[in-house]
């Protein structure tokens, strides 16, 4: 068997095209343009690139992108003041604080200052709790994007065994919560998991979020399983793609699979936030 490749680029551009139409409709109905504020503290080159990409996508679909750049030596209080101001500004509908912040900043405190209704990146305790309790709320964008990609390929989730490898707060844990919310039977694996290969072999859906290139081997995959690879380092994912694609039924390539879905989810959730705040949801 050779797996079908899940085209995250295509699904992301369809998601953005649908978001663009919603933005136009919101503008028409309310006279207000949805706005995402991106906050970048310092000058980490990867963070600069990521925020630029997010801002470009926003502007590309007719949204306003409010750029906030703060110096490397910004204090926690300085950042909190900015987040609080954006939080109470009715013309800002979503707030993204680019991670990581410089070490002197209490990033958790800054995240928690984002009102849950504007937390379109799904980073606050409130968003996580809403998601975990199955009460909606904004998803962490990579796991949210993975679910969208599964849906775009009509992958049944209910009743299936999903194995998530990784338990980080931004990826593994929210991923497990979203799949559980969709009635999957979920196993979460991590660095202390024993018999990892045996567990992965039982999975109908595998989500690899380990941060180690080609860590998940093709012979761990059950024939016909769906493989979602969130990993990204040097154009390689966390799954050994060449061997896994011979066994899986569907698999995400790296790049071009999960990655593009992350920004598309961020943008779509910002449009949701704007619609809700403007009462046109
Ligand atoms: P992370 O915080 O480093 O977490 C990695 C997880 O993998 C941890 O839970 C860790 O377990 C687990 N792990 C490490 N070694 C393991 C092993 N030998 N066996 C089983 N589990 C093991 O990483 P992350 O932020 O979740 O990111 C994961 C990957 O996704 C990275 O490649 C990252 O680049 C990528 N990523 C992609 C996007 C995107 O937009 N596509 C966004 C975010 C991240 P412990 O908890 O026990 O340490």
What is the per-residue pLDDT across 87-112, written as a single tens digit (0 to 9) for each?
999 999 999 999 999 999 999 999 99
Per the annotation, the verdict on 219 as an active-site residue is no
Strands 161-165 and 185-189: parallel
In-domain check, residue 19: no
Averaged pLDDT, 179-190 = 98
Mean pLDDT of the chain: 97
Flag whether pLDDT at 186 surpasses 80.
yes
pTM: 0.97
Averaged pLDDT, 179-192 = 98
In-domain check, residue 42: yes
Whether 216 lines ligand 1, by a CB cut-off of 6 Å, is: no
Q: Give the pLDDT band of residue 23 (cuts 50, 70, 90).
A: very high
pLDDT of 136 reads 87
In-domain check, residue 174: yes
- 72 and 163, same domain (yes or no): no
In-domain check, residue 227: yes
Q: Give the pLDDT band of residue 15 (cuts 50, 70, 90).
A: very high
Domain that holds residue 207: 141-258
- 67 and 145, same domain (yes or no): no
What whole-number distance in Å separates Cα of residue 37 and Cα of residue 26? 18
pLDDT of 47 reads 96
- Closest to 36 (Cα-Cα) out of 18, 48, 14, 53: 53
DSSP 36-84: EEEEEES--HHHHHHHHHHHHHHHHTT-EEEEEEE-TT--HHHHHHHHH
- 102 and 151, same domain (yes or no): no
Q: How many domains does the chain have?
A: 2
Whether 218 lines ligand 1, by a CB cut-off of 6 Å, is: no
> Which residues contact residue 133 at a Cβ distance below 8 angstroms, ignoring those fewer than 6 apart?
none
In-domain check, residue 12: no
- 109 and 160, same domain (yes or no): no
Q: Of ligand 1's atoms, which has the minimum distance to the CA of residue 210?
A: 7
Q: Give the pLDDT band of residue 243 (cuts 50, 70, 90).
A: very high
CATH number of the domain within which 93 lies: 3.40.50.10860
- 92 and 168, same domain (yes or no): no
The string of pLDDT tens digits covering residues 107-139 is: 999 999 999 999 999 999 999 999 999 898 999
- 167 and 200, same domain (yes or no): yes
Encoded tokens for 165: 């490898």
- 181 and 214, same domain (yes or no): yes
71-85, 126-140, 236-250 — which is least confidently predicted?
126-140
- 108 and 158, same domain (yes or no): no
pLDDT of 206 reads 99
Mapping DSSP to helix (H, G, I), strand (E, B) and coil, where does residue 269 land?
A: helix
Flag whether pLDDT at 281 surpasses 80.
no
In SS3 terms, 136-195 reads as CCCCCHHHHHHHHHHHHCCCCCCCCEEEEECCCCCCHHHHHHHHHHCCCEEEEECCCCCC
- 112 and 147, same domain (yes or no): no
Flag whether pLDDT at 1 surpasses 80.
no
Q: Of ligand 1's atoms, which has the minimum distance to the CA of residue 193?
A: 20
Averaged pLDDT, 12-19 = 98
Averaged pLDDT, 238-265 = 98
Q: Give the pLDDT band of residue 234 (cuts 50, 70, 90).
A: confident
Averaged pLDDT, 62-79 = 98
Tell me how far the alpha carbon of residue 55 lies from the centroid of ligand 1, in angstroms: 26
In-domain check, residue 100: yes
- 253 and 153, same domain (yes or no): yes
CATH number of the domain within which 184 lies: 3.40.50.720
In-domain check, residue 131: no
In-domain check, residue 103: yes
Whether 232 lines ligand 1, by a CB cut-off of 6 Å, is: yes
The string of pLDDT tens digits covering residues 208-227 is: 999 999 999 999 999 999 99
- 110 and 172, same domain (yes or no): no
- 91 and 174, same domain (yes or no): no
Q: Of ligand 1's atoms, which has the minimum distance to the CA of residue 145?
A: 40
Per the annotation, the verdict on 54 as an active-site residue is yes
């Amino acid at each position: 068997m050779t797996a079908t490749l899940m085209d995250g680029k295509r699904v992301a551009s369809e998601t953005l095209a649908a978001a663009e139409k919603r933005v136009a409709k919101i503008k028409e109905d309310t006279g207000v343009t949805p706005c995402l504020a991106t906050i970048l503290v310092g000058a980490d080159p990867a963070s600069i690139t990521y925020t630029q990409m997010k801002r470009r996508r926003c502007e590309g679909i007719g949204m306003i992108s409010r750029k906030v750049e703060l110096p490397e030596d910004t204090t926690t209080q300085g950042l909190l003041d900015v987040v609080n101001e954006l939080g109470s500004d009715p013309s800002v509908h979503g707030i993204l604080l680019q991670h990581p912040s410089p070490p002197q900043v209490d990033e958790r405190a800054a995240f928690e200052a984002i009102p849950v209704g504007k937390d379109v990146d799904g980073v606050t305790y409130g968003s996580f709790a809403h998601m975990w309790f199955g009460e909606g709320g904004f998803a962490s964008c990579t796991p949210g994007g993975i679910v969208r990609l599964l849906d775009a390929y009509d992958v049944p989730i209910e009743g299936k065994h999903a194995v998530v490898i990784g338990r980080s707060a931004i990826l593994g844990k929210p991923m497990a919560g979203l799949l559980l919310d969709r009635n999957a039977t979920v196993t979460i694996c991590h660095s202390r998991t024993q018999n990892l290969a045996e567990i992965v072999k039982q999975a109908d859906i595998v989500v690899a979020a380990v941060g180690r290139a080609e860590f998940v081997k093709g012979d761990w995959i059950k024939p016909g399983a769906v493989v979602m690879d969130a990993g990204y380092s040097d154009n390689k994912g966390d799954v050994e793609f060449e061997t896994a694609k011979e066994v899986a039924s569907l698999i995400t390539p790296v790049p071009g699979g999960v990655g593009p879905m992350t920004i598309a989810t961020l943008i779509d959730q910002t449009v949701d936030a704007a619609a809700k705040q403007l009462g046109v949801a």
